[in-house]
Chain A
Amino acid sequence: MPNTEYEAVIGLEVHAELKTESKIFCSCSTEFGAEPNTQICPICTGMPGVLPVLNRKVLEYAIKTGLALNCEIAEFSKYDRKNYFYPDLPKAYQISQYDLPICRNGYLEIEVDGQQKRVGITRVHMEEDAGKLVHQGTITATPYSLVDLNRSGVPLLEIVSEPDMRTPQEARLYMEKLRAILLFLGVSDCKMQEGSLRCDANVSVRPRGETRFGTKTEIKNMNSFRALERALEFEIDRQIELLEDGEKIVQETRTWDESKQATFSMRSKEEAHDYRYFPDPDLVPVVVDRDWVEAVRETLPELPDAARKRLVQNYGLPEYDATVLTLTKDTLDFFDRCMEEYHDAKVVSNWIMGELNRLLNQQNLEITECKVTPFGLVSMLRLIDEGTISGKMAKSVFEEMFATGKQPEVIIKEKGMVQISDESALEPIIARIVADNPKVVEDYRNGKDKAFGFFVGQVMKATRGQANPKMVNDILKRILSGA
């Protein structure tokens, strides 16, 4: 039960790995899942005497993202060194941006209970990712650590929000919207499980009506939208309980433990953050003139909000459908390709949000990995419209399409699944079933609705589900009223 005398203040720091071919300051590949240390070179392992050079695409993706998030794009921007010791950081500093980030002062909009809400974006900056530590056993019991530097130097955007969110739900909506925008831009593949989209949260609570912020904690290690929401719920409750007991909140970093469903203090030995930023002398500044910004603006694709409006206005889809269909670019593309061939948007939407999403979730697949094509789905919808198969038969046809990638016509033929819409074939079957069940006929005439359903069921059974349901209804009514 949420305590309504308090409100939470939440800000998010999101790291998105950019979908470039090569790393931010060297030519090593960024491909995920390679053998350890096979995509490294003297630059991304911090050897002395090397010279990092900026990947132009990283800057372009940063400008693109900044524009999509309604930010000001800095004319003059530079790189700084953020100094700290950790084995996954071979140079003992991370190249990042400190006081002159590439983008500032933007926002994105989320919809909370039917209301539009604007969440401010403080800044977006470019930086390099660190490597990965591999432990033998648990992090505290391991005798030593092993380091894989493939990820070291992979380009990241850090996107920092204003503390504008008030509930875990708003934080989740913000994250979902941000992910959708990045996916539509094609700048990141945003896979939270693989770590290409990561999120830390700053959260504090205060009595409702108070305008000053309470003491905040920083939460790390939330690897899914669900984890983000649950971790924030837990942390908000924890902080409120402390305040209620008259205790103080300690400003600290806490980690979300998925198995225990709780946050724990990280008790780092490191003193208060003191990164001693200074300009990186190896990298020259970046100057982005206004023509360049406008040229990038020209290349912006349709973004989720615009797509959602288009689906509502052009096709009359409900807001809910439009939101679900625009959560990823791939889902929207699937829908749009269906609509090039088919007239009824709501039917297409129902199949994508229903059967297709159900099967995708069940098998943990992306829409681009699935075997059903927009053409396949449309072909199947036509077969329903033409009366060749019933809606009920279509569900099993669709499952088969999903499993095998076969076209619906082929599946129907192979399984002998064609709908029987021939009156002269159906009538004798129905007449026989009615004649065999005089007692149920009696029930029907005494007004028992169930009796009609029984006959429909029997006809379907006799025809292995292939009878045209509408025709069965018509013939049954006629026979039952006349006989």
Chain B
Amino acid sequence: MALTGKEVEHVAMLARLKLSEEDQKKFGEQLSAILDYMKRLNDLDTEKVEPLAHVLPLHNVFRSDEARQEFSREEMLANAPLEESGLFKVPKIM
């Protein structure tokens, strides 16, 4: 199941990756190979298998609604490359 160049380009755009033509071809082949491998699942008979939403045999894990502060602003901003007046500073978006 070969991905088209356009599909590879679209996926790259969604991931904000700039691919050279060469990369696009290479990743296109790799992605296609992965999809082909996964396609083998289609050959299995899943008639009697319940759809699975989660791999752990668990449900309803909750916390109670109690607020507390566990980190100071200084700690939370400590790893930010840029910061200004207590805010994360990022490149402009438009």
Residue ranges of A at the interface with B (Cβ–Cβ < 8 Å): 20-22, 27-31, 35-42, 45, 53-59, 76, 78, 83, 85-87, 100, 133-134, 139-140, 142-149, 271, 274, 276, 279, 281, 284-287
Task: Check if A271 sits within 8 Å of B76, measured CB to CB.
Answer: no
Say yes or no: A140 contacts B54, CB within 8 Å.
no
- Closest Cβ neighbor of B87 among chain A residues: A146
Contact bitstring B31-52, A, C-beta under 8 A = 1, else 0: 0000000000000000000000
Determine if B62 and A145 form an interchain contact, defined as CB atoms under 8 angstroms apart: no
Contact sample, A vs B, 27 pairs, CB 8 Å cutoff? A21-B66, A21-B67, A22-B65, A22-B68, A27-B67, A27-B68, A30-B67, A35-B73, A37-B76, A38-B73, A41-B70, A53-B62, A54-B62, A55-B65, A56-B65, A57-B64, A86-B93, A142-B92, A144-B91, A146-B85, A271-B14, A279-B54, A281-B54, A284-B58, A285-B54, A286-B59, A287-B60
Question: B70: which A residues are within 8 A, CB to CB?
Answer: 27-28, 41
Could you say which of B63, B76, B85 contacts A45, with CB atoms under 8 Å apart? Answer: B76
A100: B residues at CB distance < 8 A = 53
Q: B: which residues have CB within 8 A of A?
A: 10, 13-14, 16, 53-56, 58-71, 73, 76-77, 84-94
> Helix, strand, loop or mixed for chain A's interface?
loop
On chain B, the residues within 8 Å of A145 by CB distance are 89-93
B87 contacts A134, C-beta separation under 8 Å: yes
B57 to A, closest residue via Cβ: A284
CB atoms of B53 and A286 under 8 A apart? no
**Ordered nearest first, which 10 A-B pairs have the shortest CB separation?**
A146-B87, A56-B62, A57-B65, A147-B88, A29-B67, A22-B67, A21-B67, A284-B58, A78-B53, A287-B59
CA distance A149 to B26 in the complex (A): 39
Closest to A22 in B: B67
| Smallest CB separation, B5 vs chain A (Å) | 16
Task: State the CA gap A347–B32 with chains docked (Å).
Answer: 76
For residue A38, which residues in chain B have a CB less than 8 angstroms away from its CB? 69, 73, 86
Given contacts A37-B73, A276-B14, A146 and B63 within 8 Å (CB-CB): no
The smallest C-beta distance from A136 to any residue of chain B, in angstroms, reads: 9
Whether B69 and A56, one on each chain, are in contact in the complex, defined by CB atoms closer than 8 angstroms, is no
User: Nearest A residue to B70 by beta-carbon distance?
Assistant: A41
Q: Is the pair A139, B94 in contact by a Cβ cutoff of 8 Å? A: yes
A85 to B64, CA, bound (A): 31
C-alpha spacing A279/B51, complex, angstroms = 12
Q: Which residues of the other chain, B, contact A29 by a CB distance below 8 angstroms?
A: 67-69
Query: How many Å lie between the Cα of A56 and that of B66 in the bound state?
Result: 10
Across the interface, do A147 and B67 meet the contact criterion of CB distance under 8 Å?
A: no
Bound CA span A31–B64, Å: 17
> Chain B contacts of A148 at CB under 8 A?
87
Measured CB to CB, the closest approach of chain B to A462, in angstroms, equals: 63
Least CB distance from B74 to A in Å reads 10
Complex Cα gap A22–B87 (Å) = 21
CA distance A86 to B58 in the complex (A): 32
Distance, CA A284 to CA B62, complexed state (A): 10
A21-B65, A133-B93, A144-B89 as given contacts; A40 in contact with B60, CB under 8 Å: no
B92 with A37: CB separation less than 8 A: no
Asked whether B93 lies within 8 Å of A20 as measured between CB atoms, the reply is: no
From A39, A53, A281, A285, B69 is in contact (CB under 8 Å) with A39
A21, A35, A87, A139: the one contacting B86 at CB < 8 Å is A35
> Residue B16 contacts which of A27, A28, A85 (CB distance < 8 angstroms)?
A85
